[in-house]
């Protein structure tokens, strides 16, 4: 079984620049290349070997997991018999969860509160990112050099390209101008990863830039027109907005590729973006808990990287669902991260695991993902024009500026939003005031004509079948005033 595991390396670049282990990356890359076309039995063998190593390291290093797994004969106990843990319990006992006693949640929260330290190594050996609170609780996730080597190899070798010849001639993307359009003010995984990429490749300092979705759409378009990116990495709702603006003649460049992630990409949005922008859309599936869960092949199918993770689609009672059936939730086991172990972690995402092999030749399973489905809001702007408020911009404002994570923002009409919080008393009043203030300032920056915010306090936030709320809900057609 040792042939499945990359050799250990203690050499890493983990100065104040970034965290990187080139020898580990090379070894993992060779295995990723080999397993991409391996038989399903070989993928299962890799899973079993890596799960055994993960469980051994976790029991030795994590007092929380040692407590939860006490009395189980791990060598003979199937994964499905191990306990399920969710983010709330893990974050509540963060210091007992991690395997490095130097990692303390309070100190990590202080670190991620400082936007000037985005991408900076923590303790000289970890990258840290935070996640949104779609599951009630904001997460903090720590990655060491071996885990990052796995993510790097999966991203570099399995992300398909619509221009393979050009990638072969230019594997370092020297001829591309890459724009990341997203939330840039927090320690989010995508932003931290972009900063790390620039640190690892100084030659990309001018050809890779990040653009904030929190600014007014006019300012965003001006910046993108000046930069004229050939590749845009963003969320599906942002890609759809760019396509709408391009149809109006506002975009003065034509990207060759759009990379999407972070939200559900519907077939309609894909068609709209590809037809209007005249480029190919490539979608991926990742999370703060595992950066590279799935990749889209040239046949348009999403494949799960099951050589480095285990996905268990389950029903509402936590029982496995049959192949081809949509799950109520999904349990994730991360086989790469031994510092912050995730074993049967309830992600809340709905997936469908298909039994058929893909025509592309990969034996990695094909999945469909139903993740975040928040709506863009079309609001009344100044001078009678329409302004689009992006859902991830709105949720970022409420999380970062108001410190609120469990909420629903519902559009009532072109001038009115309804904010629902499941809080009561003085806490509710204070949180609502912070939210209203943050949203009003954001509305001014976006050029809205006026904004009225109604509050519903002490009322549960509605949740879908997956258990996650739709946090930004547009007014449905036919109800506009």
Query: Could you tell me which residues come within 8 angstroms of residue 42 by beta carbon, excluding any fewer than 6 positions away?
Result: 35
The DSSP string of 224-290 is HHHH--SEEEE-HHHHHHHHHHHHTT---S--SEEEE-SS---HHHHHHHHHHH-SEEEEEEEETTE
Amino acid 365: pLDDT: 95
**Residue 276 neighbours by CB under 8 Å, 6+ apart:** 243, 244, 246, 247
Backbone angles phi, psi at 58, to 5 degrees: -70, -45
Residue 7: predicted pLDDT: 38
Are 145 and 12 contacting, i.e. CB atoms less than 8 angstroms apart? yes
Q: What is the CA radius of gyration of the chain?
A: 22
pLDDT digits (tens, 9 = 90+) for 380-433: 998 888 999 988 899 889 888 888 877 899 999 999 999 999 888 998 999 999
- The span from the CA of 132 to the CA of 117, in Å, is 18
User: How many CA atoms does the CB half-sphere of 338 hold within 13 Å?
Assistant: 16
Q: How far is Cα 141 from Cα 144, in angstroms, rounded to an integer?
A: 10
Angle between helices 22-35 and 145-158 (to 10 degrees): 40
The reported pLDDT for the residue numbered 173 is: 66
Whole-angstrom distance, CA of residue 194 vs CA of residue 175: 17
415 Ramachandran zone, left/alpha/beta (phi>0; psi -120 to 50): alpha
Fold assignment, 177-286: Rossmann fold (3.40.50)
Q: Rounded to 5, what percent of the chain is helix, strand, coil?
A: 35, 25, 40
Query: What CATH topology corresponds to 377-473?
Result: GMP Synthetase; Chain A, domain 3 (3.30.300)
Split the chain (481 residues) into runs of 10 and give each run's mean pLDDT: 41 59 95 90 96 97 97 94 95 97 97 94 96 73 97 88 58 80 91 92 88 89 97 90 89 94 84 92 94 92 97 94 93 98 94 93 92 84 89 87 87 95 89 95 93 92 58 72 42
Question: What is the structure's pLDDT at 166?
Answer: 62
Distance of alpha carbon 436 from the chain centroid:
27
- What whole-number distance in Å separates Cα of residue 361 and Cα of residue 364? 9
Q: What is the pTM of this model?
A: 0.82
Give Cα 24 distance to the centre of its chain: 24
Report the DSSP beta bridge partners of residue 283. Answer: 260
Domain layout of the chain by residue ranges: 2-149+288-370, 177-286, 377-473
Task: Give the model's pLDDT for residue 205.
Answer: 80
Q: What angle do CA 427, 395, 264 make, to 5 degrees?
A: 135
Q: What is the DSSP string of 376-444?
A: PEEEEBGGG-EEEEPHHHHHHHHHHHH---SEEEEEEETTEEEEEES--HHHHHHHHHHHHHHHHHHHH
């Amino acid at each position: 079984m040792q042939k499945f595991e990359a050799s250990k390396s203690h050499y890493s670049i983990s100065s104040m620049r970034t965290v990187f282990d080139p020898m580990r990356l090379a070894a993992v890359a060779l295995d990723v290349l080999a397993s991409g076309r391996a038989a399903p039995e070989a993928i299962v063998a890799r899973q079993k070997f890596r799960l055994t190593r993960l469980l051994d390291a976790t029991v030795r290093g994590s007092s929380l997991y040692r407590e939860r797994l006490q009395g189980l004969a791990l060598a003979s106990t199937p994964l499905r018999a191990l306990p399920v843990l969710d983010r709330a319990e893990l974050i509540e006992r963060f210091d007992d969860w991690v395997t490095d006693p130097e990692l303390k949640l309070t100190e990590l929260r202080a670190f991620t509160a400082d936007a000037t330290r985005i991408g900076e190594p923590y303790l000289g050996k970890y990258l840290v990112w935070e996640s949104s609170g779609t599951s009630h609780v904001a997460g903090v996730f720590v990655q060491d050099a071996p885990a990052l080597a796995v993510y790097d190899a999966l991203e570099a070798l399995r992300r398909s390209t619509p221009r393979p010849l050009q990638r072969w001639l230019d594997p370092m993307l020297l001829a591309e101008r890459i724009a990341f359009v997203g939330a840039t003010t927090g320690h989010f995984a995508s932003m931290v990863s972009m900063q790390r990429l620039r640190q690892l490749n100084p030659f990309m300092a001018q050809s890779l830039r990040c653009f904030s979705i929190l600014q007014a759409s006019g300012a965003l378009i001006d910046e993108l027109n000046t930069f004229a990116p050939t590749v845009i990495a963003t969320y599906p709702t942002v890609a759809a907005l760019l396509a709408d603006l391009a149809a109006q003649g506002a975009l003065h460049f034509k990207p060759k590729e759009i990379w999407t992630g972070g939200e559900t990409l519907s077939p309609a949005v894909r068609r709209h973006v590809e037809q209007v922008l005249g480029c190919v859309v490539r979608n991926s599936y990742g999370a703060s808990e595992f950066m590279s869960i799935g990749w889209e092949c040239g046949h348009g199918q999403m494949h799960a990287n099951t050589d480095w993770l285990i996905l268990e689609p389950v029903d509402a009672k936590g029982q496995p669902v049959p192949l081809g059936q949509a799950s109520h939730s999904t349990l994730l086991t991360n086989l790469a991260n031994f510092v912050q172990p995730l074993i049967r972690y309830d992600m809340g995402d709905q997936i469908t695991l298909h039994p058929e092999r893909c025509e592309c030749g990969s034996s990695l399973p094909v999945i469909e993902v139903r993740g975040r489905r928040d709506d863009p809001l079309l609001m009344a702007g100044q001078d009678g024009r329409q302004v689009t408020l992006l859902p991830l911009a709105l949720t970022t404002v409420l999380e970062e500026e108001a410190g609120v994570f469990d909420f629903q923002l519902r559009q009532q009409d072109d001038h009115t939003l309804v904010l629902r919080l499941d809080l009561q008393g003085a806490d509710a009043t204070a949180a609502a005031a912070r939210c209203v203030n943050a949203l009003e300032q954001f509305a001014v920056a976006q050029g809205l004509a006026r904004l009225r915010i109604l509050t519903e306090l002490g009322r549960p936030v509605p949740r879908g079948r997956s258990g996650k709320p739709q946090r930004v809900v547009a007014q449905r057609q036919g109800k506009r005033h």
